[in-house]
Structure formats: structure tokens, C-alpha cells
Structure 1
Amino acid sequence: MLKTAFTHYINNFRGFTREIWILAIITFINRAGTMVLPFLSKYLKEDLQFTYNQVGWIMVAFGFGSMLGSWLGGKLSDKIGFYKIMIFSLFTSGVSLFFVQYITTFWALCVAMFLLMTIADMFRPAMFVSLGAYAKPENRTRALTLVRLAVNLGFAAGPALGGLIIMGMGYSGLFWVDGASCIISISIFALLVKEKKKAVHDDKTESASDVKSVFHDKIFWVFLFVSFITAMIFFQLFTTLPLYHNEKFGLSELQTGLLMTLNGLLIFSLEMPTVGFLERKAFPKIRIIIVGSFIMALSFFILLINFWAGILVVSMVCISIGEVLTFPFSNAFALSRAPRGQEGRYMALYTMSFSLAHIISSKVGFEIITRLGYQINWLFMACIGVIATGCCIWIKNALITEKTS
């Protein structure tokens, strides 16, 4: 029985092109090497002696650089091709990381982080567009899921490696290793993968070939709002929830880490089989996103039960299931919605919604907690999750109307 289950699991990884596997491998190398990020605020506070206010502003510059980079990466992918943008972004940001470690003044670091993230996050929309070119149409959602899996595994390995490097080489070692991982991963890509033109859009059920511009695509803008809300809810996992674990239930760092590991294990074991099954059954993407966003909202309603520590496990399971259903199909919906020649613009706006959520999520969460307490924050996150679910239902109906008109 275990052998059969394992065979079914492995079968979900079959059918990918060679280029998709290389993309997944370089994504893992790059994300495992992205070890500056988990320690950045710690480095700024403890090593450079900045105040909390200054650290906050540097992180804001970081976030806005990410947004600008996402937009530029998408726009330029449509203009000159995703391949050139991917190589430029990772190689240049890798070299830049070598020099950023020598910048130690506040304003210079604000500018440096803004420019670094502008260059670095040009990669994300270009990479999404490349999946549309290299993946077979019938397994495009699974290809997106494979790359997400590589990102999650890379992020899981990165902080542990980062901690070891800090112990052995100090914070400067992080910048050297992170920069080197960018250059090595994109060099592998350039050597093994040849440039390919974007594939013709063939997902007619949810595409919008008659839409002239992304700015006139009302359905897509409502979808971006849904993506922003679900990302904002999800990012509470890394900002307010770890503090809640300790302040309310007295959980240690190890116990919080184990809860985070549970999330990673559930994503690793469930996401690819779930996506493979739903893709084979040809379930409409927006219906899956409706269920996923509702389950994410439910996970925060569950947190309102605050007299039993076990509820944290139940909530984490719900968040993880919501993530499995929401994010892979959101990626795929955004790509399938784009008319031919505008894939980059659409994926740029999609990735920008996550960058904006990253900036706002912690600010809003901590502000509510400071003024009104954790319970109100969970209620707020749950309610906006319900609003996102309602918007998804509107999108589903709007797609039916669009298809029949």
C-alpha cells in the first residue's frame, strides 16, 4: 500500500520538459542561497546598530524596490523576452550583493536595497512567463507547482545554512554566498537552456484574448485584489503568529519552528498530488481558488478559540490546505488570463500584489495588535478572507458572462 501511494506521488512529477526541471533546480539553488533575507533585520539592528525605525524604513525601501522590479520585469519580458531579463536580473543582483555588504550608512542602504530589489525581482515575472513557454499546456499548473516546491525547499534550507555561515564567517559571508548562488544558478540556466519564444495561449476557457490592455481587464483587477488579500492573510504566518505562539501559549522557538515545519511538510506532501488530481479532472481554476481562500479565512476564525494550544495545529493545517488550493491555481489563472504578448505585464501585476501584501501585512497586523489585541487581528484577517472569497464568486460569474457574450 505504501509502495502504491509512493508510486502515485512520484507519477505527479512525470511529464515535465527538461527545461522545466532545470528551472526548478536553479530556483532551488537561488532560494537556498537567499539567506540574507531572514537575517536582514537582525543584521541591520545588531551589526550596523540601526534603530527599529531605521530598520523599518530600510525594509520599506526593500518592499517598494520589489514592486518596481516586478513591474519592470514583466513589461520588459514582453518587450525583449523573458530569457534576457532572467539572466540580467540574477547575474546583476548577484554581483550587487558582493558590494552591498560594504554600504553601512542609513540613506545609502535605503537606496542600495531599493535598487537591489528592483533588479532582483525583475526575475520573478520573467520566470513565470518562461514557464508558459517551456511547459506543456496540459501540465502548466503542475510546472508552476514544481517551481513553488523548489522555492519552499530552498527557503527551508536557506535559514539553516545562513545560521551556520554567520557562525563561521559572520554576516559578510551571507552576502558572498547569496551573490555566488545567484551567479551560479543563472550560469547553469544560460548554459543548459536555450531561448524560446513564448507559447501561443491555448487556455481558451479562461483567457481574455479580446482584452486590449491589462488596465481595462476588470476581472483581472478584482483577481489581483483577491491575490493581495490572500497573500496578506498568509504573511501573518511569519509576522504576528510566531509572537502569538509565545505571548498567549508560551511556546518556545523550537515549538514554533515545529509548527512552521508542519506547514512545509504539508505543502511538500500534498501540493503536487492535489494539483495533479485537480488538473486531470479539469476543475475550473477559479472554483478551486474560491475553496482555498475560504479555508484560509476559516483558519483565522479558528484562532478565535484561544483557550487551547492545540488549536494552533488545527489552524496551521487549514492555512496549509488553503495555500495548496489558492497559490498554484492563482499563478496559473493569472498566466491563462493574459492575452498573447501581454503575459509579462499580467505576471508583473500578479507578483506586485504579493510585494504590496508583504509591505502592508505586518504593518496592519502589528498596528491592530498594539491597539486592539490579537483576537481583533484574527477577526479582521478572517473577515477580509471572506471578502476575498466573495470576490472570487463574482469573478466566476463574470467569467461565465464573458464567455457567453
Structure 2
Amino acid sequence: MRVLGLPWAYWIVWVVVLVIAIGRFVPPLLATYLTTDRELPASSAGLIISVFGVGGVLSSLVGGYLADRYGHVPVVVWSQAASAGALCLIALELGHLALVAVLFAYGFSSHLANPALNAMIVGRVPPQDRERAFTLNTWALNLGFAVGPLCASWVAVRSFSLVFYLEAALLLAAAIVVCLWLGRASVTRSDAIILTVPETLTTLRRDWVFLSFSLTMVALMAVYLQAFTTLPMILAEEGLPVSFYGLLMAMNGGLLCLLSVPFVRVMDRIANKTVLLHAGVLLIGAGYVVELGADARWHHAVAMALWTLAELAIFPVAWTIVSDLAPDRMLGTYLGVGGMYLAGGHVVAAGLGGTLLELVGPRGLHLVCLGVLVLVSVAFGLQSGGRRDREQSGRDRALRRVVRPTPVPCP
């Protein structure tokens, strides 16, 4: 059975991604809990909550390697079980240090499954349908981000603890569904050799095609994420209220949810991935051109809309390229590295963006961003020739090994 042109096994993974995304309400909800019920200052609450993100960054590469070594389904199940346990602990009246430790564990465990889930998508979806699959996967993520805080805030009025227990139950239910319907059929390798950690790192270090693409993506993300790091500061300097930036964020999430499914048709009509990458870079650049002359609220709204469209064009293509470049026995690891693009870009965006904003002002920052985008576009063009053969080889292998699983019980 196929829905929207994708196999039923993909939609099981999609539901799991949605459940995990709903659970990402924890940091914003805890911010309210710590500053109201615990009466902590905002600075202390922010530091405590930041460890959730630290755990998520560290888990991406680890989760990818574990998925290659032990299989995709076990890693997803371990991740959901550990996340459910962490959520139950968060619901308790923990001390500050204990809460920091548990939040780190939750950030680590909740992100641990991401490479395995992406690898499960790659293993179940034919190469020609992967852009569609990753576009709809982005839809699940954004839908979860939108629904999670809304539901959590409604339940939290009655009980903060109940919110965490309900999400823990959802995660355990998702783990059971994965066990029963996907079973052990999640990994199909072309050979039985499992690389050690040093061998894995050596392979990554020698893959210049993949590394050059990865570095270019981090640079692109550093520019794109200025919308989420320095833009709030710029709006504040213009005298605009925080609520306006919240409205822009709501518009970003709403557009992603509304346009993800229609955008699938656009992806189906454009076979050349490099064209889509260039289109995404052009849209980001157009947003910064608008920002250069922005003197009204609607200018910022137009820029955000352009950046949202760029996100729809870039992310599914980037995941598809990573999956095509990955050796069969290192699919999870490569997808784990791909999962670090946003995290790495965020580090650069937050570190350099604020410094540039202070030194050269908003206009100077936007001009620098446009210059970086030109270099990124040139890099994508230069890399396309070297990637083409690798991508085609990866798609040919994928056509021979796409998994069509039958229900197999977990061990």
C-alpha cells in the first residue's frame, strides 16, 4: 500500500518522527516552569535548559555510528525508551544539578534516533522518491513543533508533571509500533564488515567529496540561521516588540506546514539537485536583499517567507545527497554528520553573527551574508561534477537494496 506515492513503512517512520517532534516542547515549557514555579532568574533557567541542546549535538554522530553497528530499529527503540525514562524523571521535583543531568540525558537520547530514522527512510524509499520523503519528513517535524507546545501548555494548566508522563507514554507507544511493524528488517548491508570508531573517522576524513559538501552546508546554515540569531537583535534595535518576532516564527512554522505537501510536486519536476540547491541559495539571498532596505514590518515578513521557501528547497535535497554519497555500511554515520549541519551552522551563526552585527551593523552583516552566499553557490557548482558519479552509484545500489519489510518481532 502506498500513500502519496510512498510505502506504508515510510509512514510508520513518519509517525515516530512526529511523536518525537511533539516531545521537543520540553525546553520552552521548562523555561516557564523554572521561572514561575521554581522562581529562578531567566539567566539561570536559560543555562539549565541549554544542556538539552548540547546533548542533542553530541548524540547525532554517536547515533549514526550505533545505527550502523547495531541496526536502525534497536537504536530507535533504545532512544525512545531512554527518552521516556528521562521525561518521567523531569516530572519529579529534582534539584537543579539533577535536572541539568537529566535534561542533558533527554537531549542526548531524544536526538539519538535521528540518524537511524533517516536511514530507515532511505532504506525503504526508492531513490527517485527520496526528496518527496524528506520533504514530508520536514512536515512531520514542523507539525510536531507546532502541536507539541500547544497541547503541552493546555495540559500544563492542570499539571506540569502530567505533560511529561503523557509524552513518555507516546514515546513508548512509538517504540512498540517500530518493533512490531518494522522489526529487524531495517538494515541491509552490501557486506558484513562493521567498522570500528577509528576506521569510521578515517573514512570520513578521506572522503573529500562529502567533507567539502558538508563544510559548504555548514556555511550556508550559518547564513540562513542569522534569521534565528541576529534578526531578533536587529528587530529590537528598530524598536519592534518581541511579539512581532514571535509572529514571524509562527509564520515560518505555518508556511512550512502548509507548503510541504504542495512543494512535493515541485520537487518531482526538478531532477537536478544542484538546481534546487542554487534556488535555495537564491531565495536566502533575496531575503537579505529585502532586509537591506527593510523599514517596515512587512519587509521583514517578506524576508522570512523567502527564507522559509529556501528551507523547503534545501533540506530535503541535502538529506538526499548525503544518503546517496554514503557507503552502505556507513549510512547512519553519514546521516549523523548531516544532522550536525544545523548545529554547526548555529554555532557559527551565533558566534560570528553577533560580533559582525556589533562591528559593522545590520547592513554590513547582511552584505557579508550575501558575499558568503555567492561563495556557497560557486562551491555547489564546483562540487556538482565530483558528486554526480558518486550520487548515481549510490542510487544504483539503493535500487538493489530498498527494504520491503514484513512484521518481525523485536528481540
Gaps of 5+ in 1: 1-11, 202-210
Contact 1:36/1:178 (8 A) holds in 2: no
- Using the TM superposition, give the Cα deviation of residue 89 of structure 1 relative to its aligned residue in structure 2, in angstroms: 0.3
Q: Counterpart in 2 of 1:127?
A: 117
- Using the TM superposition, give the Cα deviation of residue 222 of structure 1 relative to its aligned residue in structure 2, in angstroms: 1.8
- 1:219 matches 2:205: no
- 1:155 matches 2:163: no
Post-superposition Cα deviations, 1:154-174, rounded to whole Å, max 9, x if no partner, equal 11112222222232223x343
Single out whichever of 362-371 and 155-164 deviates more from structure 2.
Answer: 362-371
1:47 and 1:362 map into 2 onto residues whose CA distance is: 30
Contact 1:133/1:196 (8 A) holds in 2: no
Partner-residue secondary structure (3-state), 1:342: helix
- Using the TM superposition, give the Cα deviation of residue 298 of structure 1 relative to its aligned residue in structure 2, in angstroms: 2.9
Q: Name the % identity.
A: 23
Contact 2:86/2:103 (8 A) holds in 1: no
- 1:392 matches 2:380: yes
Q: Counterpart in 2 of 1:94?
A: 84
Post-superposition Cα deviations, 1:341-379, rounded to whole Å, max 9, x if no partner, equal 110110111112222334453454445445654444434
Post-superposition Cα deviations, 1:254-302, rounded to whole Å, max 9, x if no partner, equal x54443343334333433443444334422x233112212321331232
Contact 1:48/1:104 (8 A) holds in 2: no
Partner residue of 2:179 out of 172, 187, 190: 190
TM-score normalized by structure 2?
A: 0.81
Aligned length: 381
Partner-residue secondary structure (3-state), 2:257: helix
Q: Counterpart in 1 of 2:5?
A: 15
Partner-residue secondary structure (3-state), 1:344: helix
Single out whichever of 294-303 and 376-385 deviates more from structure 2.
Answer: 376-385
1:41 and 1:368 map into 2 onto residues whose CA distance is: 29
Partner-residue secondary structure (3-state), 1:35: helix
1:109 and 1:233 map into 2 onto residues whose CA distance is: 33
What letter corresponds to residue 6 of structure 2 in structure 1? F
2:344 and 2:48 map into 1 onto residues whose CA distance is: 15
- Using the TM superposition, give the Cα deviation of residue 80 of structure 1 relative to its aligned residue in structure 2, in angstroms: 0.9
Q: Counterpart in 2 of 1:39?
A: 29
2:314 and 2:36 map into 1 onto residues whose CA distance is: 37
Query: Alignment RMSD, CA only?
Result: 3.1
Q: Counterpart in 2 of 1:306?
A: 294
- 1:139 matches 2:129: yes
Single out whichever of 313-322 and 122-131 deviates more from structure 2.
Answer: 313-322
- Using the TM superposition, give the Cα deviation of residue 231 of structure 1 relative to its aligned residue in structure 2, in angstroms: 3.0
- 1:270 matches 2:259: yes
Contact 2:135/2:312 (8 A) holds in 1: no
Contact 2:131/2:316 (8 A) holds in 1: yes
TM-score normalized by structure 1?
A: 0.82
- 1:295 matches 2:271: no
Q: Counterpart in 1 of 2:337?
A: 349
Gaps of 5+ in 2: 191-200, 393-411
Contact 2:73/2:186 (8 A) holds in 1: no
Q: Counterpart in 2 of 1:233?
A: 223
2:5 and 2:269 map into 1 onto residues whose CA distance is: 13
2:47 and 2:344 map into 1 onto residues whose CA distance is: 15
Post-superposition Cα deviations, 1:290-347, rounded to whole Å, max 9, x if no partner, equal 2212321331232121323221122122101211111110111111110111101101
Partner-residue secondary structure (3-state), 1:143: helix
Single out whichever of 261-270 and 84-93 deviates more from structure 2.
Answer: 261-270
Contact 1:132/1:198 (8 A) holds in 2: no
In the TM superposition, what are the counterparts of 1:47-66 in structure 2 within 5 Å? 47-66=37-56
In the TM superposition, what are the counterparts of 1:342-381 in structure 2 within 5 Å? 342-369=330-357, 373-381=361-369
- Using the TM superposition, give the Cα deviation of residue 143 of structure 1 relative to its aligned residue in structure 2, in angstroms: 1.2
Contact 1:63/1:359 (8 A) holds in 2: no
Contact 1:299/1:382 (8 A) holds in 2: no
Single out whichever of 274-283 and 132-141 deviates more from structure 2.
Answer: 274-283
- Using the TM superposition, give the Cα deviation of residue 217 of structure 1 relative to its aligned residue in structure 2, in angstroms: 1.0
Q: Counterpart in 2 of 1:4?
A: none
